[in-house]
Amino acid sequence: MSHPIDWSGLRADFPILHQQIHGKPLLYLDNAATSQKPKAVLQALQHYYEHDNANVHRGIHELSNRATTAFENARARAARFINARVAEEIIFTRGTTEGINLVANSWGSQNLRAGDKILLTEMEHHSNIVPWQLLAARTGARVVYLPVNGDEGLLQLDRLEALLTPEVRILSLVHISNSMGTVNPVAEICALARARGITTLVDAAQSAGHCPVDVQSIGCDFLAFSGHKICGPTGIGILYGRQQLLDKMPPWQGGGEMILTVDYEQSTFKPAPHRFEAGTPDISGPVGLHAAMDYLDAIGRDQIWRHDQELAEYAWEGLAQIKGIRMFGPRKGRAGLVSFLLKEAHAHDVVTLADHAGIALRGGHHCTQPLMKKLGVESTARASFYFYNTREEVDRLVETVEQIRRYFAD
Ligand code: C6P
């Protein structure tokens, strides 16, 4: 049974939201870029540095034991957050980008040969394109793409099976598009790939903190997300990998902490996940992320999802009334963000004027340049929501965009 949530009340947990920008109350709608942090996360970080700070896995003194326990507890918490089978399937990274690079470098270098294919979709973020292009250049493999159907932002799933040829070794795709708000049916897509023995990676950067994400029901081999987009600190992320795969993968960075033995000629390595965590890791990051995951799950990600979707649909309906506006992504069933362009104004001008009105939007290619090119645009303006945003804020967004249109139309 879902409990009623006082969404506006939750704003009290976020000190940063209570300020004026250019003399207007801040309206933060750039949550897809990074989310704001609740007091629970700020306090966890402060507590860690005031009471427990030490290096992990090395010392045998009390502080080191406490830091190591906090670090490994966060790993176990992350496993529960995405329903991984065991904590050993969780690797700490700097974020989604590093997680994908880890797979491309370690798994990719071991498994890809000339003539193989890497299947992506046309709506991927640069961090799910460039690592694969680098891998393809090293191995002689080729990157191929499942097409998007245009402004509506849906994958052409009827073309998927024909693309899942025997040369495809990995399918890597985004769960929720950061520039269109499309929600991809990742479980169905991964099932088709798995039935053909194709390894799968899901980029959950925009989904992990917004809806329930369960790696076992998705059935993927890898899944990556960033802490900073889910109320956690910057500089920490999670890569999930199925244990049978991680155990066979070589390290991708060498250094302290990831070894069993080292001599002058050669070294042996710890099992996963520590084999993939060379050097002193970000320790406060997992501590803050742990607090963020607790915070989100106390609200309930199913509830957050409904709230996000409701705001996005409400924003879509409001913005779509504006004369000459071009909207991107599906109208219904979208995630909590809207992307649009005014006929009269460049996206950067819209974002600049919105900023003068106290509203934080994002304008640009959103690190999806190939998709923008396909849509025939350089950039879009984007408003991205989170649970601390309200319908009143959406009203203010729509009014402001209408004012900006009139300003440029005159
Ligand atoms: N998208 C946005 O404003 P990092 O930078 O590693 O935390 O996340 C990269 C990333 C990967 N995949 C998707 C779908 C993403 O949206 C992002 C980050 C931000 O849309 C910054 S470009």
Sketch the domain layout of the chain as residue ranges.
7-30+300-409, 42-297
> Hey, which of 100, 120, 127 would you mutate to test ligand 1's pocket, going by the most ligand atoms within 8 Å of its Cβ?
127
Mean residue pLDDT of the chain comes to 97
Query: What distance in Å separates the CA atoms of residue 60 and residue 50, rounded to the nearest whole number?
Result: 19
What DSSP assignment string belongs to 327-377? Answer: EES-SSS--SEEEEE-SSS-HHHHHHHHHHTTEE-EEE-TT-HHHHHHHT-
What residue's CA is closest to ligand 1, atom 8?
96
What residue's CA is closest to ligand 1, atom 19?
33
What DSSP assignment string belongs to 296-318? Answer: HHHH-HHHHHHHHHHHHHHHHHH
Which atom of ligand 1 lies at the shortest distance from residue 226's CA? 7
**Residue 27 host element (H or E):** strand 27-28
Query: What distance in Å separates the CA atoms of residue 72 and residue 186, rounded to the nearest whole number?
Result: 29
Pairing of strands 326-328, 337-341: antiparallel
Check: CB of residue 112 under 8 Å from CB of residue 169. Answer: yes
Query: What distance in Å separates the CA atoms of residue 285 and residue 49, rounded to the nearest whole number?
Result: 11
Query: What distance in Å separates the CA atoms of residue 216 and residue 199, rounded to the nearest whole number?
Result: 14
Model confidence band, residue 2 (pLDDT cutoffs 50, 70, 90): low
Average pLDDT score over residue span 166-183: 98
Average pLDDT score over residue span 64-83: 98
CB atoms within 10 A of CB 120: 23
For residue 168, what are its two tokens?
């495809």
Average pLDDT score over residue span 345-366: 97
For residue 271, what are its two tokens?
């099992």
State which fold the 7-30+300-409 domain adopts. Answer: Aspartate Aminotransferase, domain 1 (3.90.1150)
Q: Which residues contact 23 (CB under 8 A, 6 or more apart)?
A: 358
Q: What percent of the chain has pLDDT over 70?
A: 99
Distances in whole angstroms, Cα of residue 178 to Cα of each of 106, 127, 313, 378, 396: 26, 12, 16, 16, 22
What residue's CA is closest to ligand 1, atom 1?
33
Q: What is the pLDDT of residues 236-256, one digit of tens each?
A: 999 999 999 999 999 999 999
- Rounded to the nearest whole angstrom, what is the distance from the C-alpha of residue 87 to the centroid of ligand 1? 25
* CATH code of domain 42-297: 3.40.640.10
Q: Which residues line ligand 1 (CB under 6 A)?
A: 32-33, 95-97, 125, 127, 174, 178, 203, 205-206, 226, 362, 366-367
For residue 173, what are its two tokens?
């795709």
Which atom of ligand 1 lies at the shortest distance from residue 177's CA? 14
Average pLDDT score over residue span 5-21: 96
> Hey, which of 29, 98, 122, 178 would you mutate to test ligand 1's pocket, going by the most ligand atoms within 8 Å of its Cβ?
178
Average pLDDT score over residue span 273-290: 98
Q: What is the pLDDT of residues 84-102, one digit of tens each?
A: 999 999 999 999 999 999 9
Task: Give pLDDT, residue 5.
Answer: 93
- Rounded to the nearest whole angstrom, what is the distance from the C-alpha of residue 97 to the centroid of ligand 1? 8
- Rounded to the nearest whole angstrom, what is the distance from the C-alpha of residue 33 to the centroid of ligand 1? 6
DSSP-derived 3-state class of residue 118: strand
- For residue 191, pLDDT beyond 90: yes
Model confidence band, residue 204 (pLDDT cutoffs 50, 70, 90): very high
**304, burial (CB in 10 Å: exposed 0-12, middle 13-18, buried 19+):** buried
Query: What distance in Å separates the CA atoms of residue 176 and residue 183, rounded to the nearest whole number?
Result: 5
Using the CB atoms, write b or e for 95-116: b if 16+ within 10 Å: bbbbbbbbbbbbbbeebbeeeb
- Is 367 catalytic? The answer is yes
DSSP-derived 3-state class of residue 393: helix
